Amino acid sequence: MKTSPFARHIVLAVVLGAAAVLIDSPLFNIIPTAQAASVAGLPDFADLAEKTGPAVVNIRTTERVKPGQGGLPGGDDEEMQEFFRRFFGVPIPRQQQPDRAPRNRKPSPQQEEEVPRGVGSGFIISADGFILTNAHVVDGADDVYVTMTDKREFKAKIIGVDKRTDVAVVRIEGTNLPRLTMGDPNKLRVGEWVIAIGSPFGLDNTVTAGIISAKARDTGEYLPLIQTDVAVNPGNSGGPLINMRGEVVGINSQIYSRSGGYMGISFAVPIDEAMRVAEQLRTTGRVTRGRIGVQIGEVTKDVAESLGLPHAQGALVQRVEPGGPAEKGGLEAGDIILKFNGTPIEKATDLPRMVGATKPGTRSTLMIWRKGASRDVTLNVAELEPEKIAKKDERKAKPEQAPNVLGLVVSDLTDAQKKELKVDGGVIVDTAEGAAARVGLRAGDVILRLNNNDVKDAKQFNSLVSKLDHKKMAVLLVRRGDASQFVPIRPNGQ
């Protein structure tokens, strides 16, 4: 019996449809899961995590304080925990605590107490124990403890810290330790897969994955950063960003967040820049950078067209430091620096990085654009002054005052401190006793707000404190380092 072409098409469609249903059923689902994932183009991170994980470490820092100074805000205080449960939906993540003396045994007035300071991540870069992490993870810590995946714990020594790049090197005593291989971040492609390993909220060896979202992202930092969508949270800082070849391409350093937690954007310090810093830290304990003594700005399209430049590029000299290398070399305000030692400057932020990477004392050539023509000038690069780190015992002696009902003695911020913190008011804590010490406040904290009132100065703050209802909980907005946090406190400390 003959069938029409139309009928044959109908039969074929029915057969293929039935076959599709059968193949999709559990009885005929014979494609292995791994092969199916491969067919779909999805990466399998299991081997990568297993290979690189042992070289990633958890870093726990502590500091030694005298009795009455207290620990970190929100440690074990139940009222603090309840505050965070109500307003943020979750309690404060509890970090691993070092062993402490029983609560009913008070230390002597001279005895210092070790209290937790923070948790971060790091990774081993040499078999003899050198570890790379973020500067903000270990800076200011009295003691640093490193825990490996096999649960071995070491007390680490801080070799060097560089705040400008947020890179630090610490070392533990060991041999034949697992280490990671460094990659080339310049070969990264937007869209390629990467993973992060670290200790978010103290949960060590947590693996998260994502893609490279952008390269050389300017965020106002000293270095251009790698942007990813890898989940990074507090505690991930200092951990490695790893490509699919198992190579480190960056150090997870920052997140963009309005909540304090991950919001889909994270940043990493490129590993090539970090290793250059690490090498200097390992050799001398500090980083030496060059400077030429200019204040610069961007060259806009309108400015470039008006001055006859082919396109907007270079760094516009806005101010020349009197007596500095630039002035001695003949640079003037209004010049546009197009090249530094032959390397083109595409945007203004390229210049400080190039100059910073130049050894002080080097004779350098700059191509500049002045009055419609280019010319070369030469100058000697000077050394950029290292960042000054105030020591605990360098605080200015102040007249003794009685603590207020919160247990606080405060003083006004200096103009320099306000400028550094980018605030208009606030007070700095000189002494924290009683109620203040129990909720974790300590000397050096900055108080910006009491309840709904902005704090302007010490006199106004103490006046506000004197009017508090002792039966009600008050809340302080406290700045410590780069982070601000609300700290509930009862005036009578009960």
Catalytically active residues are 136, 166, 237
Burial of 460 (0-12, 13-18, 19+ CB in 10 A): middle
Q: What distance in Å separates the CA atoms of residue 122 and residue 135, rounded to the nearest whole number? A: 11
Q: Which DSSP category does 180 fall into?
A: P
Which regions of 66-129 does DSSP assign to beta strands (E)? Answer: 113-124
C-beta separation of 415 from 424 below 8 A: no
Strands 181-182 and 247-255 turn out to be: parallel
- DSSP string for residues in 127-158: TTSEEEE-HHHHTT-SEEEEE-TTS-EEEEEE
Contact 236, 270 (CB under 8 A): no
C-alpha to C-alpha distance for 398 and 402, rounded to whole angstroms: 12
Alpha-carbon torsion angle 268, 239, 49, 245, nearest 10? 40
Greatest pairwise CA separation for the chain in angstroms:
113
Distant-in-sequence, close-in-space partners of 319: CB < 8 Å, separation ≥ 6: 294, 295, 333
Token pair recorded at residue 233 = 């949270």
Integer Cα distance of 173 and 131 in angstroms: 11
What residues have CB less than 8 Å from 135, skipping those under 6 apart? 161, 162, 163, 165, 166, 167, 168
HSE value, Cβ hemisphere, 13 Å, CA-based, for 367: 13
